[in-house]
Amino acid sequence: MTTVVKQLSVETLRSSLRGELILPGDEGYESARKVHNGMIDRHPRLIVRPVNVRDVISAVNFARENELTLAVRGGSHSVPGFGVCDDGLVIDLSHMKGVRVDPKNRTVRAEGGCTWGDVDHVTHAFGLAVPGGIISTTGIGGLTLGGGIGYLARKYGLSCDNLISADVVTADGRFLTASAEENADLFWALRGGSGNFGVVTSFEFRAHPVSTVFAGAILYPLEQSRDALRMYRDFMAQAPEDVNAFFAYLIVPPGPPFPEHLHNKTVCGVVTCYLGPMDKAEGAIRPLREFGPPLFELLGPMPFPMLQSMFDALLAPGLQQYWKADFLNDLNDGAIDANVKYGPGVPTFNTAVHIYPVSGAVHRVGKTETAFSYRDANFAEVMAAVYPDPADTPKNKAWVQDFFSALHPYSAGGAYVNFMDDEGEDRVAASYRDNYAMLAQMKRKYDPTNLFHMNQNIKPAR
Ligand SMILES: Cc1cc2nc3c(=O)[nH]c(=O)nc-3n(C[C@H](O)[C@H](O)[C@H](O)COP(=O)(O)OP(=O)(O)OC[C@H]3O[C@@H](n4cnc5c(N)ncnc54)[C@H](O)[C@@H]3O)c2cc1C
């Protein structure tokens, strides 16, 4: 790696940009180097905030020609902090937020720096939604490229399953469009292969008629969590695809709308979202409401973007975050035992132990049809310690690691790459299974020098 980037070439880069170039010492550098996870403290040498494709091409070429480490940032939510590097160049896409809806064809074109909130804000005006995650501040970039699990997944598939095409700047500075018809191998790799193949400047998605949903949370006593997990497993096995629900261990936040006697109490529960006709909603989720009986319910019809942003405040930027994850084929007795033992240890009300369904439409895509491989899993579990005080890191890491060690033997083997920590090549390979060899070939074709390595990295095949 070059240690001195000549001042002259930096000025050449600056003059080639319409967007910002931020250097150490510049006003705004300190906030520009921050990502969502407050634990990440890296100092890049240059931060480029492109406003168009030409800026992205200039920044990619500059990083490659100067042999700089390159980090690409969409919504900055990568928990291992892949959106920022030490000493290198960051391409921060957060100024590229254009969204265009084609209501007639139900498609959406969104630039690479959008968050799901940016997209939902526009699509909702047309009574449409694209499958995203469950938090509105997460970037469409990282989430889609790693797969994308959210409330609409059972009915409409993962975010990557709804990708029609992507505009990509590759490591050699070329601009390519990837779709089923054009550069189809790249299109395959982008749908799950994470940020390994280039900078996606624009995503074209299929959108679906989703506007008002029946949704919310149902809380159960902690002492009943074993039976609640069994009930949840059995319920999801037969639930129609209009129903989505994830299971959680949580500490009840100390404030409205929760009743005072539940404040700061550790409980378990489900967050559900029903997409069918409103008059069928109560019947569709009845088993979730009859179990217990619940300690508390907050359920009702709401605009989809309201549901999408309901938990944003709990996961505010700057909190410390340490996550681990696994796919589960089944919520078998061993997996339930691990959850019952460690779930109650959630350290803060920001922390999430979530079990998401991976079923319905997600299963209708073949294992090798996209880079995302775990189409036969039924759940994706994440243990996400989220807490304000860095001094609590050792105990929170220990809790996540112990939880993971207890669960992993009962898992499907690999994890959802967007929920994983930075765990090395073997773990990445385990998460792509049979698709890994093809991904490594694609990496050799599109990024032979591994310029894009700040990600769940796939090494180019030799
Ligand atoms: C609070 C929170 C909630 C979450 N909720 C969900 C959820 O409900 N469902 C779910 O599936 N996941 C969820 N995740 C995980 C999330 O999918 C990943 O953290 C994802 O990587 C975030 O994408 P980003 O663009 O915000 O992150 P970034 O840190 O900006 O990027 C993450 C990775 O993607 C690459 N990347 C980002 N944008 C682009 C682009 N345009 N072109 C090329 N590469 C790019 C980056 O280089 C990096 O390697 C959540 C994460 C957090 C922190």
Summarised one tens digit per residue, pLDDT across range 338-381 is: 999 999 999 999 999 999 999 999 999 999 999 999 999 999 99
pLDDT higher than 80, residue 383: yes
Tell me the CA–centroid distance for residue 345 and ligand 1, in Å.
26
CB of 68 closer than 8 Å to CB of 5:
yes
Tell me the CA–centroid distance for residue 324 and ligand 1, in Å.
15
pLDDT of residue 377: 98
The rounded percent of the chain whose pLDDT value lies above 70 is: 99
What does the pLDDT average to over 189-194? 98
For residues 92 and 70, give the distance between their C-alpha atoms in angstroms, rounded to a whole number.
Answer: 11
CB of 385 closer than 8 Å to CB of 423:
no
pLDDT higher than 50, residue 2: no
pTM over 0.85: yes
Ligand 1 binding site (Cβ under 6 Å of any ligand atom): 36, 72-79, 82-83, 93, 112, 133-135, 138-139, 141-143, 145-146, 148-150, 194-195, 199-200, 315, 418, 454-455
Q: Whose C-alpha lies nearest to ligand 1, atom 28?
A: 76
The best mutation among 190, 304, 355, 418 to test binding of ligand 1, ranked by most ligand atoms within 8 Å of the C-beta, falls on: 418
Residue partners of 59: CB distance under 8 A and separation at least 6:
13, 17, 48, 50, 89, 91
Least Cα distance to 17 among 45, 59, 70 occurs for 59
Least Cα distance to 233 among 278, 156, 283, 291 occurs for 291
The best mutation among 73, 137, 186 to test binding of ligand 1, ranked by most ligand atoms within 8 Å of the C-beta, falls on: 73
Q: Whose C-alpha lies nearest to ligand 1, atom 51?
A: 77
Tell me the CA–centroid distance for residue 225 and ligand 1, in Å.
30
pLDDT higher than 90, residue 412: yes
Strand residue runs (E) in 293-342: 296-303, 320-328
pLDDT of residue 1: 45
CB of 146 closer than 8 Å to CB of 192:
yes
Strand residue runs (E) in 352-457: 352-357, 379-387
- What are the pLDDT digits (tens) for 201-256? 999 999 999 999 999 999 999 999 999 999 999 999 999 999 999 999 999 999 99
pLDDT of residue 5: 66
What does the pLDDT average to over 39-47? 98
Angle at 121 between CA 117 and CA 123, to 5 degrees: 115
Looking at residue 139, what DSSP letter applies?
B
Q: Which atom of ligand 1 is nearest to the CA of 134?
A: 8
Tokens read off for 282: 């109560």
- What residues are paired with 357 via a beta bridge? 379
What does the pLDDT average to over 293-321? 97
pLDDT higher than 60, residue 3: no
Q: Is 297 buried (19+), middle (13-18) or exposed (0-12) by CB count in 10 A?
A: middle
What does the pLDDT average to over 329-344? 98
Least Cα distance to 291 among 213, 226, 242, 356 occurs for 226
For residues 243 and 285, give the distance between their C-alpha atoms in angstroms, rounded to a whole number.
Answer: 7
Q: Which residue has the tokens 């030490």?
A: 86
Q: Which atom of ligand 1 is nearest to the CA of 37?
A: 53
- What are the pLDDT digits (tens) for 146-187? 999 999 999 999 999 999 999 999 999 999 999 999 999 999
For residues 14 and 12, give the distance between their C-alpha atoms in angstroms, rounded to a whole number.
Answer: 5
Amino acid at 402: D
Tell me the CA–centroid distance for residue 75 and ligand 1, in Å.
6
Tell me the CA–centroid distance for residue 251 and ligand 1, in Å.
25
